Amino acid sequence: MTRSEIVSRHRRIKTTGRAGRTAAAAAATGFSLLAAFQLSLALGAPLGHLAWGGAQERLPSGLRIASAFAAVVFVVAALTVLGRAGYRMSPVAPRVSRSGIWVLVFGLALSALGNFASSSNWERFLLGPIALLEALLCLIVARGGAGSESPAADEETSQLRSIVKRENVMLVNSSTVYLTRPGGRIGYDVSGEGPLVLLVPGMGDLRTAYRFLAPGLREAGHRVACTDLRGHGASDATFASYGDVETAGDVIALIEELKEPAVVLGNSMGAGAAAYAAAQRPDLVRGLVLVGPFVRNPKVGAFQRIVLRVAMARPWVALTWKAYLPKLYAGRRPADFDEYRALVAASIRRRGYAKSFSLTTRTDHAPVAALLGQVAAPTLVVMGEQDPDFKDQRAEADWIAQAMRGEVVMVPQAGHYPQSQRPDITTEAILRFLGRLNHGDVSGSQTPVLSTPDFNRVTVGS
C-alpha cells in the first residue's frame, strides 16, 4: 500500500479517539493562554481588573504570587490533558493523567461556578464561560482517553507512523554532508554545476522546503547547496545558541567550505541570517534573494510575547507548529502539503529538537535590522501577497527593498512559502534575477538603481 493510500484510509477510519485528541489540543491551547495571562499579571501587567475580583489594575505582591502559582498550575493542566490524550510530548505519566484529568473536570466546573458568582463582570462573562468550556473539553478527553480508535485505525496509524519515521531517518541520506561547527554539525547537500546558490530555510522548516525550487536552479546551470538550520533537519540539536547571528556564521562557514562566493537565498528567518552574512562578509555573498523575509522585529506587545513564549514552549512546540503551518501556507498549497507537514512535525519531535526549535523561536532580529544599510550585494525581495506574518505584505517588502536598494517581486496566491506554493512564479523570478546578476546587469547598493515603479515593484503571475 502506498503512503498516500494509507494516509487516505487513515483519515476515513478516524473515530472518537480523534475527537478526544482534538479536544485535548484545544484545551491545552486554552490552558497555555491562561498561563500566559496569569504570568503577565504576576509580572505587573495592568490587567488586574480581569481577575481576582477585578478590584485593582495592578495586583499587589500577594496576588502576584498567586498569579505566578496559577500560571504553573495551568501549564501542568495543559501537560496533563495532552498526556491523557496520548500526545507523546507530554512528560505526565499515564496513571497521573488518568486521575488528573478528572481533577481538572471538577476543579474547572467549580471555578466556573465561582466566576459566575463573582461581582466582576469580566469574571462572570469572560472567565466563567472560559472555565466552563475548558471543563467540557477536559470531560471529552476524560471519557475518550487515549487509544480509543478502532483496531483498524490503530493498525493504519502504526503504518503511517512507521512511514513518517522512515522518512524522518531519510533526512540524513546518502547526499547529506556535514560541516563541523563549534557545538555541533550542520547538515547540507550540494549538487549541480555552475555558479553557487546557497538555499537557507526558515525557522521550523527543513531544507526539503526547496524541493520544488532546487531542481529548476540546477537545470538552469547552477551549483545548488541546501542547508538545514542548526537544530533542524539533519543538523545537530546540540548547539548552545540559535538565531540570525549564529545562522549567519554557519552560512559564512559553509560558503568558505564550498570555496566560492554564493548567491544566498533565505526564507523567513533564513533571510535575516543571509542579510547579516552579506553585511559581515561581502566578499563571500555576491547576491541575495530574500523570501518572506524577517529582517526586523515585528511590533508586538509584552502580552503577545508572553503568549508566543508559552505557545512555543518545548513540551508542545511541535503540536503548536503543526497547527500553525496551514495558516502560514495561506493561498495555494502544494499537493504534498499534508505529508510534508507531518514530516516537519516528526522532525521537531525527535529527542532534543523540540528544545532547539523552541529556543530558535526567541530569535532577535535587531542585529540584522541594524546592518541592512551596509549590505552591498544586489538583492531581490520575494513576498507572498497573502503572507500572514506581515500585516501589509507590500509595505514590508518595499521597506526592505528601500533599505537594501533592491527589487521586489510579489507572488499571488502565496503565503509565507512562495517557493513551495507558487514554485512556477518564484523560480522564474529568481532565475531572471540570477541571469541578470551573472551577466552583470543588476547592481548592489554601491551603484544607484533605477527608481521607476516597474523596477522596484513587480507583481508576477496570476
| pLDDT surpasses 50 at 455 | no
| pLDDT surpasses 90 at 271 | yes
Angle between helices 94-116 and 128-144 (to 10 degrees): 150
Are residue 269 and residue 198 in the same domain, yes or no? Answer: yes
| pLDDT surpasses 60 at 57 | yes
Say if residues 330 and 387 touch (Cβ distance below 8 Å): yes
In a domain, residue 48? The reply is yes
Name every residue whose Cβ is closer than 8 Å to that of residue 361 and which is 6 or more positions away in sequence: 203, 204, 308, 312, 317
**Between 219 and 9, where is the model more confident?**
219
Are residue 88 and residue 185 in the same domain, yes or no? Answer: no
How confident is residue 148, by pLDDT bands cut at 50, 70 and 90? very low
Are residue 192 and residue 123 in the same domain, yes or no? Answer: no
Are residue 209 and residue 135 in the same domain, yes or no? Answer: no
Q: SS3 for 137?
A: helix
In a domain, residue 166? The reply is no
Q: How many CA atoms lie within 13 A of 316 on its CB side?
A: 29
| pLDDT surpasses 70 at 54 | no
- Element spanning 396, H or E: helix 393-404
How confident is residue 174, by pLDDT bands cut at 50, 70 and 90? low
In a domain, residue 1? The reply is no
- Does the CA dihedral 232-235-240-245 come out positive or negative? negative
32-45: average pLDDT: 89
Q: Which of 179, 200, 217, 190 is nearest to 276 (CA)?
A: 200
Are residue 390 and residue 266 in the same domain, yes or no? Answer: yes
In a domain, residue 260? The reply is yes
Q: SS3 for 318?
A: helix
Are residue 292 and residue 378 in the same domain, yes or no? Answer: yes
**133-137, 161-165, 309-313, 446-450, range with greatest mean pLDDT:** 133-137
Boundary (domain end) residue, out of 84, 119, 144: 144
User: Could you tell me the pTM of the whole model?
Assistant: 0.68
Helix residue ranges, H only, 220-286: 244-258, 269-280
In a domain, residue 435? The reply is yes
Are residue 113 and residue 243 in the same domain, yes or no? Answer: no
Q: Which domain holds residue 139?
A: 15-144
Are residue 21 and residue 102 in the same domain, yes or no? Answer: yes
What CATH number has the domain bearing residue 356? Answer: 3.40.50.1820
Say if residues 155 and 223 touch (Cβ distance below 8 Å): no
Task: Give how far the C-alpha of residue 265 lies from the chain's centroid of Cα atoms, to the nearest Å.
Answer: 18
287-303: average pLDDT: 92
How confident is residue 171, by pLDDT bands cut at 50, 70 and 90? low
Boundary (domain end) residue, out of 97, 120, 144: 144
Are residue 190 and residue 118 in the same domain, yes or no? Answer: no
In a domain, residue 256? The reply is yes
41-56: average pLDDT: 79
117-145: average pLDDT: 85
Number of domains in the chain: 2
Are residue 139 and residue 181 in the same domain, yes or no? Answer: no
| pLDDT surpasses 70 at 95 | yes
pLDDT at res. 172: 55
Are residue 201 and residue 300 in the same domain, yes or no? Answer: yes
Per-residue model confidence as pLDDT tens digits over 375-414: 999 999 999 999 999 999 999 999 999 999 999 999 999 9
Instruction: Report the percentage of the chain scoring pLDDT > 90.
Output: 59
In a domain, residue 306? The reply is yes
Q: Among the listed ranges 229-238, 306-315, 419-428, which one has the minimum average pLDDT value?
A: 306-315
Are residue 118 and residue 206 in the same domain, yes or no? Answer: no
In a domain, residue 267? The reply is yes
How confident is residue 295, by pLDDT bands cut at 50, 70 and 90? very high
439 CB burial (10 A radius; 0-12, 13-18, 19+): exposed
Beta strands in 87-232 (DSSP E): 177-181, 184-191, 196-200, 223-227
